[in-house]
Structure 1
Amino acid sequence: MAESVDRLSRRLLETMVVGLELRIYRRLIDLVASFRAPNNTATIPLCQASLADLVRATRLSSKQMLHRLVDQGQVRVRRGRIDVLDIDALSRRCGY
């Protein structure tokens, strides 16, 4: 339970001091850990609105950030899914 409280506290603090772009990168990388495929990609069963909720942003703002990643070839957005195509590049953006 203490671990959950600590994790939630870190996310709350992150929401207050970290920019949206980095929050999106971090949440995607967190989710990749659960959905990584053997070919070093990941299909995350998550819609854009749910991602926006996770990073405490509007759907429009998170959609704009996601489409930057789409333009760079790092993710693909499909109905109800986000495909992470370049996990290493996304990790570097997070500073991981």
Structure 2
Amino acid sequence: MQAAFQTQDPATLGITMAATIAAAIDAAMLSRRDAYAGQPQAWHLFCEASHVATLNGPLRDAFIARVAEQRGADIALRLAAKADAIREAAIARCREAAPA
């Protein structure tokens, strides 16, 4: 992923990387939608975790803290773990797609 962003201004690099990761997460959501047919609760959880995966650190922490307060720590921990996995997979896809 770094090679694709080497010529950019450092001030916009973080924003560009975040947008690229969010786009990869969106693409993954669209590609997996049919797999969740007839499973609305599972789709809802996947969408929520995907949303969390697109957030920056402070926003992510605030979202997870709010979930913990409203729905309990166990649910918040599972949501955070799923979001981390989704984000890591998106970053890996971006690295694979980036020119060397």
TM range, smaller chain: 0.3 to 0.5
- Structure 1 length-normalised TM: 0.38
Highest CA radius of gyration, 1 or 2?
Answer: 2
Report which of the two has the higher share of strand: 1
